[in-house]
Copies of this chain bind each other. A is one copy, B any other.
Amino acid sequence: MVSARRSDQVGGDGLRERHRLRTEAALEHAALRLFAERGFDVVTVDDIAARADVSRRTFFRYFASKEDVLLADHPRRLADLRRALAGRPEDEPALTALRHAILSMAGGYEEERQRLLDRATIMARTPSLHARSLAHQRLWEEAVADMVAERMRVDPTVDLRPGVVAASTLASLRVAVAAWLARDGRPHLPTLVAEALDLLDGGLEQGLTRLSALRGRRRQSPAARSTPEEENP
């Protein structure tokens, strides 16, 4: 067997395993420092390896790519979300369960505020990193869509709703987190996320025309809810 073991083993049993974890942490730390200091694409893998005092080759034994150093925690986060969602009562409506799971996850973000801020700073200067990060989020979408479909007892390949729910919900989460990071992580994240989800769940239409739930100065006339249809280009 090829050993499907990376961070999923807990115990620090054995000198070897402990050394492995130390090396991984050293590489990650070195990479973050260097990226922050000089910028992602100026830093080479050799630089990182040298700083962590291992060989270039070893770096690629720990991380699949240079980008991966920054995104290695995605699988763990997704697992958290899965667990949170699976932990909700079986008969709870899909949307309620999803909201709770996401809010609980958002709560966890606050504990990693600084780390996330550092990463956001690096990413803001490096488009290709955003690309990878978004690719990971697509995996989240699939996972969430499947779980939502299961709760709704529908087939996600036939019914659009689970997909739309997953995609729009995670998109809103992303916007809220981005806003949080842009404000230096000062606002209460779960509150921001809850506001975004409220807007979504209650209907964008309502959210925009009514007196806003969100902190915007409303400037919009309460337009009719008639949504002109047809249109066949």
- A residues engaging B (CB < 8 A)? 93-96, 99-100, 103-104, 107-108, 127-128, 130-132, 134-135, 137-138, 152-155, 157-161, 163-165, 167-172, 174-176, 178-179, 182, 190, 192, 194-196, 198-209, 212, 214-217, 219-223, 227-233
Contacts and interface: CB of A to CB of B under 8 A. Distances in A.
Nearest to A107: B233
The residue among A203, A219, A233 with the most chain B CB atoms within 10 A of its own CB is A233
A222 B229 contact: yes
Contacts of A132: 131
Contact of A165 (B153, B159, B204): B204
Given A154-B216, A194-B229, A227-B99, A175 B163 contact: yes
Nearest to A128: B135
Contacts of A138: 130, 134
B131 A160 contact: no
Contacts of A202: 203, 205
Nearest to A208: B95
10 A-B pairs with the lowest CB-CB distances in the bound complex, closest first: A107-B233, A203-B203, A159-B216, A131-B135, A168-B168, A167-B171, A134-B134, A155-B233, A171-B171, A153-B219
Interface of A is mostly: helix
A206 B204 CA distance: 12
Copies of this protein in the complex = 2
Nearest to A152: B220
A229 B153 CA distance: 11
B107 A216 contact: no
A228 B158 CA distance: 15
A93 B215 CA distance: 19
Contacts of A161: 199, 207-208, 212, 214, 216
Nearest to A139: B127
Contact of A233 (B104, B201, B209): B104
Given A203-B201, A206-B203, A208-B93, A192 B160 contact: yes
Contacts of A134: 131, 134-135, 137-138
